[in-house]
Amino acid sequence: MKERVKAMMEKVGLLPNQINRYPHEFSGGQCQRIGIARALIVEPKLIICDEPVSALDVSIQAQVINLLIRLQRELGLALIFIAHDLSVVKHISDRVMVLYLGRVMEIASSDELYAAPQHPYTQALLSAVPVPDPAHDMAGSVVPLAGDLPSPLAPPSGCVFRTRCPRATERCAAEAPVLLGADHQTACHFPGPLTEAEIAFARRTEAA
Amino acid sequence: MTRPLLDVRDLRVTFHIRREGDLPWTPPRELHAVGGVDFSLAPGETLGVVGESGCGKSTLARALIGLVPAEGQAEWIDGKDLIGLSPRQMMKYRNDIQMVFQDPLASLNPRMTVGQIIAEPLTTHHPGLKRAR
């Protein structure tokens, strides 16, 4: 058993001679490696990672994510990777599911979702991802969302996103959209890229 | 297409909320944290789940491993529905579905050594191995 634990520590990038140390002697990234080792030791088929890197420094995040990707390839694991950082999710995921108020808004392969988001919410979310380019006009490309997330105790009728959607109509209040499509599924009555006019409208409502 | 590892249909998690000031006979209010989620996951695939705080991401994860009660269907590759299993029945699947949490330090027992922490799931799921220590 001790051998198995040591082998697993080595696999996740910990030193096997640290086996008798206590968690407080480790850094955040190392602790997360311990958590991963603990999950892997029983040889699972699926690992659910709930914001595994959100508490870590950015430089450590990349190490832990690359570790997860490597282990996944080696062991053939399935992963459900939960995060609010879209660039992290893009890097690791085959497919991405976008949730809003407990409902699926859009689900597609990661390449497709990032290249051609169809749901207005996904578009707003993606526009908020920082672009590492000083020439990029951040203020000009962000689709702002007016207001706050509605209370889940009293969700809006019809489409739950309609209260903040620049494209909402009466139909959206009356009827909840169902998830449609084959590989790229969207729950929206009026999917498709937002037009300049709609983005400008969203910006005015947000400022008001 | 190969059989999915996990096939989730219309997964719902509802919390019953009582607020301060509610009278004992006021019915609790219903909060639909997850309102009908469908997806399937192939073996070896990575599914990313995104959304702002409070959209039900973590609740969805907890529902799948039975940490919060849920309704709907979540069919594992062997054809078994994971929703509504008794804790005893769930044990078998707890081995196959593991979870990694957000706060690494808070999710580790400070009184156990790293070796004990990593070995603990092994002794839980495979008690026979204990002897071989």
Contact B122, B94 (CB under 8 A): no
Mean pLDDT on A155-163: 89
Q: Which residues, in sequence order, are CB contacts of A148 under 8 Å at separation 6+?
A: none
Mean pLDDT of B74-80: 90
Q: What percent of chain A has pLDDT over 90?
A: 42
- pLDDT, tens digit, 9 for 90 and up, residues B31-46: 888 888 999 999 999 9
Chain A / chain B CB contacts < 8 angstroms: 249
**The pLDDT of residue A55:** 80
Q: Give the tens place of pLDDT for each residue, A101-138.
A: 989 999 999 999 999 999 999 998 888 877 777 776 66
* CB-based contact A48:B65 (threshold 8 Å): yes
Q: What is the mean pLDDT of chain A?
A: 87
Distances in whole angstroms, Cα of residue A10 to Cα of each of A121, A176, B105, B107: 42, 50, 20, 21
Chain B CB contacts of A92 under 8 Å are 46, 48
Cα–Cα nearest to B67, from A102, A41, A50: A50
ipTM: 0.86
- Is the CB of A152 less than 8 angstroms away from the CB of B33? yes
What is the spatial distance between Cα A81 and Cα A72, in angstroms, rounded to a whole number? 12
What percent of chain B has a predicted confidence (pLDDT) above 70? Answer: 95
Measured between beta carbons, which residues in chain A are less than 8 angstroms from residue B102?
50-52, 54-55
Nearest to A105 by CA among A79, A124, A83: A124
User: Following DSSP, what letter does each residue of A88-114 receive, concatenated?
Assistant: HHHHH-SEEEEEETTEEEEEEEHHHHH
> Average pLDDT, stretch B94-114?
87
Closest by CA to A189, choosing from A200, A203, A174, is A174
Half-sphere exposure of A61 (CA within 13 A, CB side): 16
Q: Are A84 and B53 in contact (CB under 8 A)?
A: yes
Of the candidates A199, A135, A137, A140, which has an alpha carbon nearest to the alpha carbon of residue A165? A199
Average pLDDT in the A71-99 region? 90
DSSP letter (8 states) at residue B104 = T
Which of A31, A89, A97 lies nearest to residue B105, judging by beta carbons? Answer: A31
b/e map A82-109, b = 16+ CB within 10 Å: bbbebebbbebbbbbbbbbbbbbbbbbe
* pLDDT single digits (tens) B5-60: 999 999 999 888 887 777 888 888 888 888 889 999 999 999 999 988 878 888 99
CB contact under 8 A, B49 and A95: no
Shortest CA distance from B127: residue in chain A: A1
Rounded to the nearest 5°, which phi and psi values hold at A183? -90, -35
Which residues in B lie closer than 8 A to residue A40 (C-beta atoms)? 98
The dihedrals phi and psi of A40, each to the nearest 5 degrees, come to: -80, -20
Crossing angle (nearest 10°) for helices B114-125 and A2-11 = 120
Q: Which residue type sits at B16?
A: H
Pick from B109, B112, B121: CB nearest A42: B121
How far does A47 lie from chain B, in Å, by closest CA? 5
Contact A142, A127 (CB under 8 A): yes
Nearest CA in chain B to A52: B102
Quote the pTM value.
0.86
Task: Output the six-digit token pair for A81.
Answer: 């990777």
pLDDT of residue B114: 93
From residue B2, how far is each of B40, B43, B68, B77 by CA, in Å?
Answer: 11, 9, 29, 10
* Average pLDDT, integer, range B104-122: 88
**Cβ(B45)–Cβ(B1) below 8 Å:** no
Which pLDDT value is given to residue B130? 58
> Nearest residue on chain B to A80, judged by CA atoms?
B47
Structure tokens at B124: 């839980």
How far apart (Å, rounded) are the C-alpha atoms in residues B120 and B113?
11
Asked if the model's pLDDT at residue B133 lies above 50, the reply is no
Structural element, H or E, at residue A2: helix A2-11
Residue A93 has pLDDT above 50, yes or no: yes
Instruction: Give the distance from residue A129's alpha carbon to the nearest chain B alpha carbon, in angstroms.
Output: 13
pLDDT higher than threshold 70 for residue A189: yes
Percent of chain B with pLDDT over 90: 29
CA–chain centroid gap for A83, Å, is 4
